[in-house]
């Protein structure tokens, strides 16, 4: 029968480019292979001739790009005999760690900032059976504690300081090159710890050095204005933003990300919370794609730089949408200003509601 072989995850697909052996037990949930969607309506709204694609990483198994790195980190942790993993997280890493630990049959300990993670992510970590430790402090404080604890307890850190995380995450760049037949001119990402922008650059570099592609993108990292250490040029001690996923003031891949900017001739910039939410709303309303606030930072920044001409017309741009909009229903509902319509359960009442709301 002419069936294509079943897609069983990125480690299987890219095993020649990842640090696994033939007999490695692969811990996978079918991550990767996410859609690269061309925006049909937003370029026209901007009034610019550009090709914008979004890489919808929110369609990974736990709803964020973290799964690309987590499958590698957990696969290697299990290979090395580890029985437990630990991370600090603004939410998505904890959801992913919890799921892959469940899959592997090991324990996940996750440290989260009390009251500052989106509801969907908390639900995931709890449902998958992780030991959830809320701390009265932010992500950066949690990250420091995790590093200290791991020196004294038999736990494997699965934050992006674990090198296997970036190895897994570089595969997103491979997928983009394979679909477009080349690297884009610009690749825009939201930046928190800066692991993902670093991983993407590793992927683009690898395909370029291996002669698979002969161009490389400018890497552009956007931060939330209240949590923008790359714009301040130094660590930020009290990061704040509605985009809780990137509420990070002490990025773990600080040095690597500056190298990425340098080598790719890219840049960093910041977006106000209102700009981030407006981009999220525009994407949902005008293109039918729902991402979480942090993810919309890539599009918010790209739209601004397209409008100003910093990203010139004729460019091919990829924006990574790092996480699914369903992760954070509270911030979504809070920003929908038009009230829901409630009427009697009659044909007349519904008809009136429809006619009253026709364009």
Applying CB under 6 A, the residues found at the interface with ligand AN7 are 64, 89-93, 160, 190-196, 245-246, 292, 294-295, 322-323
Q: Which is nearer to ligand AN7, 48 or 225 (CB)?
A: 225
Q: Is 186 helix (H, G, I), strand (E, B) or coil?
A: strand
Helices (H), 129-253: 139-150, 163-169, 171-180, 195-209, 229-232
Q: Which is nearer to ligand AN7, 192 or 226 (CB)?
A: 192
User: For residues 86 and 146, what is the distance between their CA atoms, to the nearest angstrom?
Assistant: 7
User: For residues 22 and 15, what is the distance between their CA atoms, to the nearest angstrom?
Assistant: 9
Q: Which is nearer to ligand AN7, 75 or 90 (CB)?
A: 90
**Are 176 and 184 a contacting pair, CB within 8 Å?**
yes
Q: Which is nearer to ligand AN7, 177 or 194 (CB)?
A: 194
Q: Which is nearer to ligand AN7, 24 or 284 (CB)?
A: 284
We find the least distance from the C-beta atom of residue 181 to ligand AN7, in angstroms, to be 26
We find the least distance from the C-beta atom of residue 247 to ligand AN7, in angstroms, to be 9
Number of C-alpha atoms within 13 angstroms, CB side, residue 283? Answer: 32
Helices (H), 48-127: 66-79, 92-104, 119-127
Q: Which is nearer to ligand AN7, 43 or 132 (CB)?
A: 132
User: For residues 195 and 161, what is the distance between their CA atoms, to the nearest angstrom?
Assistant: 8
User: For residues 210 and 224, what is the distance between their CA atoms, to the nearest angstrom?
Assistant: 35
We find the least distance from the C-beta atom of residue 345 to ligand AN7, in angstroms, to be 39
We find the least distance from the C-beta atom of residue 315 to ligand AN7, in angstroms, to be 23
We find the least distance from the C-beta atom of residue 116 to ligand AN7, in angstroms, to be 11
The total of other beta-carbon atoms located within 10 Å of residue 80's CB is 8
User: For residues 199 and 337, what is the distance between their CA atoms, to the nearest angstrom?
Assistant: 38
């Amino acid at each position: 029968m002419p069936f294509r072989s079943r897609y069983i995850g990125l480690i299987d697909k890219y095993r020649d480019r990842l640090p696994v052996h033939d007999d490695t037990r692969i811990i996978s949930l079918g991550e990767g292979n996410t859609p690269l969607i061309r925006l049909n309506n937003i370029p026209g709204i901007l009034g610019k001739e550009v090709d914008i694609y979004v890489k919808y990483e929110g369609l990974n198994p736990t709803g964020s790009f973290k799964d690309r790195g987590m499958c590698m980190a957990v696969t290697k942790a299990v290979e090395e005999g580890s029985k437990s993993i630990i991370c600090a997280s603004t939410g998505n890493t904890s959801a992913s760690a919890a799921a892959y630990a469940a899959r592997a049959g090991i324990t996940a300990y996750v440290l989260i900032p009390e009251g500052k993670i989106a509801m969907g992510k908390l639900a995931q970590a709890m449902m998958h059976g992780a030991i959830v430790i809320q701390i009265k402090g932010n992500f950066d404080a949690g990250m420091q504690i995790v590093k200290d604890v791991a020196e004294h307890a038999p736990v494997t850190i699965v934050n992006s300081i674990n090198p296997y995380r970036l190895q897994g995450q570089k595969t997103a760049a491979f997928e983009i090159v394979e679909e477009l037949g080349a690297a884009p001119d610009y690749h825009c990402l939201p930046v928190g710890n800066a692991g993902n922008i670093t991983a993407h650059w590793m992927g683009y570099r690898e395909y370029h050095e291996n002669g698979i592609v002969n161009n490389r993108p400018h890497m552009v990292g956007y931060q939330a204005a209240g949590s923008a250490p790359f714009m301040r040029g130094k660590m930020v001690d009290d990061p704040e933003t509605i985009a809780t996923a990137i509420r990070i003031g002490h990025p773990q891949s600080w040095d690597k990300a500056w190298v990425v900017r340098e080598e790719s001739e890219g840049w960093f910039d910041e977006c106000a919370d209102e700009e981030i939410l407006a981009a999220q709303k525009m994407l949902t309303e005008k293109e039918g794609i729902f991402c979480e606030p942090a993810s919309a930072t890539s599009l918010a920044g790209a739209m601004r730089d397209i409008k100003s001409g910093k990203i010139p017309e004729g460019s091919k741009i990829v924006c990574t949408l790092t996480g699914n909009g369903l992760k954070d229903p509270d911030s979504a509902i809070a920003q929908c200003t038009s009230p829901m319509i409630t009427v009697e359960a009659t044909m007349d009442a519904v008809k009136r509601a429809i006619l009253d709301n026709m364009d």
